[in-house]
Amino acid sequence: MPAAINEALLPRGVGRLTRGWTIFILAMVAISALGWYAYIREFTEGMAVTGMRDVGTMGGATWGLYITFVVYFVGVSFAGITIAVVIRLFKLDHLRPLARMAEVLTVVSLVLGAIAIVADLGQPFRGMINLFRYARPQSPFFGTFTMVIAGYLFASLVYLWLTSRRDAAILAQRPSRLRWLHRIVAAGYADTPAERERHSRATFWLAISILPMLVVAHSTLGFVFGLQVGRPGWYSALQAPAFVVLAGVSGTGVLIILAAIVRRMMPRDVGLTTQVFAWLGRFMMLLLFVYVYFMVTELLTATYAGSEREVQVTREMLWGEYSWIFWSSVGLLVTPLIGLTVQSIRRSWSVPWLVASGIAVNLGAVGKRYLIAVPSQTHGQLLPYVDGSYWPTWVEFAVVASLLAFGALVIGVFMKVLPIVELEEAGDA
């Protein structure tokens, strides 16, 4: 009985700091600290500690691993809130256990994207002030800065808060060390019909208005690349749509991984059934089909005809210096697609396979983002400069690793503070 009472105190493992969890958090803190050290080196000594250098005479790439992960993180955030909103709008109740972790994933991922942008600025403090002071809407970057970072992050936070209030109110009824926090998050929620009606309406309208802003925001990130006529390989109308689709793929992949971990951690069944994973798998499969279609279209166009420089960039990607990244990314995207199709046809889904697919598509997505950014810089000069080279240094790897660790840390802490899976209607009260 004592064990049952302990567990009944706060559901979903909230407040229960297990040894495994503590070790995990400490490891994440350690990696984050390493990244901080690396960034301090970058801040004091200048960005020369990275592998980035000027394009042109210096034969480098001026945007490298950082921008790869800016795009990656913003991309992952896309899937989270989209799935949460889709669940809400189409009343997919069997998927409700996913909703909160999807929202948390979006918020955390966007914050990581924002930090990654700041890490890539030569003058970060000045950047943070001058962007709010002088930002020009004529620059494609304006959309990323205002809509993505300020708008969509705030909207997702609002959505997360509003949908967490009920669970926080339930938790606040029980004595615990976190009661003060639960009371704040609950913000006076009373489970009356009127309140529920209001909540339903508010979240409905919020969901409807977030979706178009998401597509616009992600497209502006694509435009940052796609509008540059001077960069062979970038200048393409497909950049924006391809960004959005690959964002959905990678985000769904991370959500699968997260859901599998949560399912493992929960003391009992919280509704994360194989059917839920199957839905995610099917969603990811559809998006992957669209993305492979975009990839094939781009490749056909690039190899059939193109200016000499475009052809050269494509050649480097297919057979040259970047071919190993290209082909492994393609493999990491296509193999899961085949696996997902087979599972879909046979209607038998395996969660371990889905998790492996999730990991694979994310690695593939990082590779593709890298391939968008770098080859056009080192091999895509329109004037006859000598080809360049770029390889990230330990500083860039450390900063990126610390961002990933920080994200994992925040999600890990969130899980112990608020329920990562919504409490059911009848209540774990």
Partner 1 sequence: MRKALTISMIAVGIALMVISYFGLTAPWGARGVANSNPRMQFAPLVFVVGVMMAFGSALVYEMLPDRFDRD
Partner 2 sequence: MVRYAMAVDLDRCQGCRACMEACKIENNTVQSVFWMYVFRLESGEYPDTKMSFLPRPCQHCDNAPCVKVCPVGARYKREDGLVLTDFERCIGCRYCELACPYGVNYFNWAKPEKRQYLDFGHPGVEAVTGGVVPPYQNPDLAVKHGEERRLTAGGGHFKGVVEKCTFCVQRVEKALQPACVGTCPVGALVFGDIEEESSPIAGMLHDRPYFRLLEEAGTRPSVLYFGGAPPTEDSREIETVKARV
For partner 2, the binding residues (CB under 8 A) are: 45-48, 52-60, 62-63, 120-124, 126-127, 130-131, 133-136, 138-142, 145, 224, 228-231, 308, 377, 381-386
Beta carbon of residue 199, minimum distance to partner 1 (angstroms, whole number):
6
Beta carbon of residue 305, minimum distance to partner 2 (angstroms, whole number):
14
The answer for 289, left when phi > 0, alpha when psi is -120 to 50, beta otherwise, is alpha
Residue 391: φ, ψ to 5°:
-140, 130
Decide if 67 contacts 52 (C-beta within 8 A): no
| Identity of residue 271 | G
Question: In terms of CB distance, is 39 or 414 closer to partner 2?
Answer: 39
List the single partner that 381 binds among partner 1, partner 2, none, CB under 5 to 8 Å by kind.
partner 2
List the single partner that 231 binds among partner 1, partner 2, none, CB under 5 to 8 Å by kind.
partner 2
Neighbours of 384 (CB within 10 A): 6
Beta carbon of residue 158, minimum distance to partner 1 (angstroms, whole number):
5
Question: In terms of CB distance, is 86 or 128 closer to partner 1?
Answer: 128
Beta carbon of residue 139, minimum distance to partner 2 (angstroms, whole number):
5
Question: In terms of CB distance, is 150 or 342 closer to partner 1?
Answer: 150
Beta carbon of residue 198, minimum distance to partner 1 (angstroms, whole number):
6
Beta carbon of residue 109, minimum distance to partner 2 (angstroms, whole number):
21
Decide if 113 contacts 91 (C-beta within 8 A): no
Question: In terms of CB distance, is 131 or 153 closer to partner 2?
Answer: 131
CA distance 250 to 94: 22
List the single partner that 187 binds among partner 2, partner 1, none, CB under 5 to 8 Å by kind.
partner 1
CA distance 67 to 64: 6
List the single partner that 54 binds among partner 1, partner 2, none, CB under 5 to 8 Å by kind.
partner 2
Beta carbon of residue 208, minimum distance to partner 2 (angstroms, whole number):
30
Question: In terms of CB distance, is 57 or 297 closer to partner 2?
Answer: 57
List the single partner that 293 binds among partner 2, partner 1, none, CB under 5 to 8 Å by kind.
none
Beta carbon of residue 393, minimum distance to partner 2 (angstroms, whole number):
12
Residues binding partner 1 (CB under 8 A): 131-138, 142, 145-147, 150-151, 154-155, 158-159, 161-162, 165, 187-188, 195, 198-199, 201-203, 205-206, 209
List the single partner that 386 binds among partner 1, partner 2, none, CB under 5 to 8 Å by kind.
partner 2
Question: In terms of CB distance, is 27 or 135 closer to partner 2?
Answer: 135
Question: In terms of CB distance, is 52 or 117 closer to partner 1?
Answer: 117
Question: In terms of CB distance, is 182 or 369 closer to partner 1?
Answer: 182
Question: In terms of CB distance, is 208 or 300 closer to partner 1?
Answer: 208
Please return the burial class of 139, using the count of CB atoms within 10 Å of its CB with bins 0-12, 13-18 and 19+.
middle
Beta carbon of residue 220, minimum distance to partner 2 (angstroms, whole number):
12
